[in-house]
Structure 1
């Protein structure tokens, strides 16, 4: 993994530690360039429990004060910063590589960006005509800058073999889980880049709908995001509804906007996303491979941001998904063991093929995370509260009804009391595997709103109740064979972990968490070949069924909550 200049985290739980050497280099560079950073003002050791909404506002503000700059392969960083500082004070910056070298630069004042863009010219091309759409994605060209290779921040996860090697250096399973979390979670730089991209997309959308905004949801914001996960965005048109009861001068005369009528809210979303999709395809800054998937259950525009190296999905008015992201954020920040356990079990599930990036009959990351939360609610004493308990703590400003669904829960993390449960992470990991290794999936459903098992309302192999849309099963896609596989692998992994608990980091063989991540490759060859054939056959059947369902309905299913 390349070393990099790391920015201190605004949210400690979502950033990696700043290395001492990189920190010294960053301070030297900004001092020489005549710019400053708020790095010294932040303390890594102090964990500030910021509310989800406050974090979003702070991150969005960072994004709006930032520019994305395409750079030459080699850049004199000092001269680069000195040039930019002519337009205003630079708060933070970093370089990253995604097909080419790029930089994210945050200015203190928005006026500095205006100054920089005013000095930026429209490119000329003798053979082709350019589309003169200006954005905060620019490129810099200068011969005297082309001198040194800059340190680029990684935008992808550590190689699996290197991860296993690092895990084996841990002194305990708790240490291993923390190593895995630090290596796989979104870095501070990746988070900043994601918010910058969202504001670039917002600039296009607000050209048509000035009161609208583009928000992030899913893995990028719910505290469980992994390096390389998709960027899920939704066009929030909620503020436009305020104009339905606009201020009137009084009297018997009122005014209203002349607007086109459509048959349904879905039809309106499809029209809006179609227009935005055309704009992204025609002149969106860095947007490629634009697909308008408007007949999906949740209409969306799918595209890739080439410079950022991010696959993106844009939906409209997907407020329940945003609320689900906030709920997961709260659970992820209530207790430090939650995120470590989720990252460990998600990695375990992916290695064993329990989850998959390909749509099909497998358990999704969202479903698996909900299962983990339910297990933590079942501990004695509970590690985390139920959704109903969070609702009981809510005040008037927390009340939230979306499309008739009660989405009320406490938003202030500081009002949630810490758990009295002190079980070590290793115990929770083993207990999770044993809990679901003997769970009665045939009879019971999983409900994090109540935190108790109850009879399934229908005969789905796996029934996980949607915490907000309570008549929906978020795991309806999972078939019986996948449930059996999950139970078998959970039982096997629990046995391996219990056997490994007595081993230390000096063991020659992979131990602890590393052992259950590698166990699938250490089975005897005949069993492994048999399992691979079964898994391959199941994947083919699942894909064929997905294609057949798509042909029959004319719709492409899209997961209700982004998860990666």
Structure 2
């Protein structure tokens, strides 16, 4: 099914005025994008939304396959278009009335300065979230990229869909985060058995494979080859087919997104829906997750590179678990959400019970009035003393359980309960996390860090509160809390400021 969106790369900015209206559509996003391949076509990319799909079809009828001297081109018709200079155009410096917000997050040093100007830690947490969360334009651009890739996959599977999951849509996405996508084949008609008529059944003649995993690997291999050879703007395609969850990894140059594409990963979709539900139940959930994630990335607790680090998903589950442990609890356990579910909510995927209520009106929350400052301080205190050596984190029950296996950090997968989502984390990384929690808890307890400071002579505010938590830690590791208490707070803050100047 054709989408009512198209992406155009203008050789010069061309949007007719007034009001940002063009002859065929409305620009909703226009910005320079960081193309990642040398000699890639430069220019401003514009996302144009049309009133209906017929308008897109009419536009595509006017498009031509370019003729490039001494080069062969793949004649693949995409909604990713280039507009060449034609006759009399508006001024190259003239843009439409609607400009989108920045599509990348600000540097950490700039964020620290911005947070230092706030008057309370609650305001700092709110400001951090509003600064780093996905913009509406960025979210819509992610859905558009899925739609463009679906056009390619539909050549093999006409009724398939490609849709985003994870941070792009669960409400916890940060500007610049990867675009996780799923190729959904379950919606293809004919997959559900039909009642035979007259004792006869009619079935499609299909290729057979040894397992569902082998089918997924074959499908992704073919789609990956197609993206690599024919997909406009898709570069650096990697086939990671032997992973626990086979995937394709590539960069989509026009949008600037790093993309991961999996197939039929329905449990991941349910996990995405669950995190979105939790984020909508209480605004403090989203604020705290954003803050803890930013803190973790600033200190190298999480990383975009696969390894022994704690993942964002694991960190988010740790925040949810902490909020379930408050007295009274801020969010309910997954088992409670399951008990509230109706017949339409029932979901069992590959033997895993993924059922939870979807009707928000059925969820009665307890009255908890703790501030964001209190929650942030208590979060660090909670995990600074958590018994990681013997206990497992479980948001289904909302309570600690004995570890079922010997591993530094054990966080039960909410739906695939036999799996540990933090199995990759080694003892060194867990020790760093605990030490940073101890230091952050100590910092938030100091009176000097809990009130805004006067501006320095240079006009820049002195970091305080949450801003001090984002400053680099000292060389040689984190000191113990006992030793920290022996060190005057003024000395500690001075050394933190010096480390900021050097960063």
TM-score (ref. length: structure 1): 0.78
Q: Distance in 1 between matches of 2:360 and 2:409?
A: 31
SS at match of 2:261: strand
SS at match of 1:450: coil
Higher mean Cα deviation, 118-127 or 71-80? 71-80
Cα 1:243–1:74, aligned 2, differ >3 Å: closer, same or farther? Answer: closer
Partner of 2:419: 472
Contact 2:154 2:160 in 1 (8 A): yes
Aligned-residue offset at 1:81: 5.2
Partner of 2:17: 78
Structure 2 gaps, min length 5: 35-42, 457-461, 479-503
Q: Give yes or no for the alignment of 1:383 onto 2:330.
A: yes
Query: 17, 24, 29: which one pairs with 1:94?
Result: 29
Aligned-residue offset at 1:157: 0.5
Partner of 1:141: 84
Residue correspondence of structure 1 range 27-106 to structure 2 within 5 A: 64-78=3-17, 84-85=22-23, 87=24, 90=25, 93-99=28-34, 100-106=43-49
Cα deviation code 1:284-331 (max 9, x no counterpart): 122111122222221111111111001111111101011111111111
Aligned-residue offset at 1:148: 3.1
Partner of 2:210: 263
Q: Distance in 2 between matches of 1:419 and 1:140?
A: 56
Contact 1:293 1:300 in 2 (8 A): yes
Cα 1:408–1:510, aligned 2, differ >3 Å: closer, same or farther? Answer: same
Query: 339, 354, 363: which one pairs with 2:310?
Result: 363
Query: 188, 193, 202: which one pairs with 2:141?
Result: 193
Q: Distance in 1 between matches of 2:53 and 2:347?
A: 33
Partner of 2:374: 427
Q: Distance in 1 between matches of 2:357 and 2:449?
A: 38
Contact 2:160 2:184 in 1 (8 A): yes
Cα 1:422–1:96, aligned 2, differ >3 Å: closer, same or farther? Answer: same
Residue correspondence of structure 1 range 278-427 to structure 2 within 5 A: 278-427=225-374
Q: Distance in 1 between matches of 2:29 and 2:445?
A: 43
Cα deviation code 1:155-195 (max 9, x no counterpart): 21112221111101111111111111011111111101100
Contact 1:76 1:148 in 2 (8 A): no
Structure 1 gaps, min length 5: 1-60, 533-564
Contact 1:68 1:104 in 2 (8 A): yes
Q: Distance in 1 between matches of 2:66 and 2:119?
A: 56
SS at match of 2:187: helix
Partner of 2:111: 163
Partner of 2:57: 114
Q: Distance in 1 between matches of 2:225 and 2:351?
A: 33
Q: Provide the alpha-carbon RMSD of the alignment.
A: 2.0
Higher mean Cα deviation, 137-146 or 396-405? 137-146
Partner of 2:393: 446
Partner of 1:26: none
Q: Distance in 1 between matches of 2:218 and 2:150?
A: 17
Aligned-residue offset at 1:281: 1.1
Partner of 1:557: none
Q: Give yes or no for the alignment of 1:220 onto 2:168.
A: yes
Contact 1:212 1:237 in 2 (8 A): yes
Higher mean Cα deviation, 318-327 or 279-288? 279-288
Aligned-residue offset at 1:507: 6.1
Partner of 2:181: 233
SS at match of 1:78: coil
Cα 1:318–1:76, aligned 2, differ >3 Å: closer, same or farther? Answer: closer
Cα deviation code 1:502-552 (max 9, x no counterpart): 4225365200100111152xx3xxxx1x239xxxxxxxxxxxxxxxxxxxx
Q: Distance in 1 between matches of 2:33 and 2:452?
A: 39
Cα 1:118–1:419, aligned 2, differ >3 Å: closer, same or farther? Answer: farther
Q: Distance in 1 between matches of 2:182 and 2:52?
A: 26
Aligned-residue offset at 1:66: 0.8
SS at match of 1:388: helix
Contact 1:360 1:477 in 2 (8 A): yes
Cα deviation code 1:119-178 (max 9, x no counterpart): 112211232222111121111123433623335642211122211111011111111111
Partner of 2:67: 124
Cα deviation code 1:454-475 (max 9, x no counterpart): 1111121111111111111111
Larger helix percent: 1
Matched residues, number: 459
Higher mean Cα deviation, 287-296 or 305-314? 287-296
SS at match of 2:205: coil
Cα 1:501–1:141, aligned 2, differ >3 Å: closer, same or farther? Answer: same
Aligned-residue offset at 1:397: 0.5
Contact 1:97 1:153 in 2 (8 A): no
SS at match of 1:385: coil
Q: Distance in 2 between matches of 1:174 and 1:148?
A: 44
Partner of 1:531: 477
Cα 1:247–1:284, aligned 2, differ >3 Å: closer, same or farther? Answer: farther
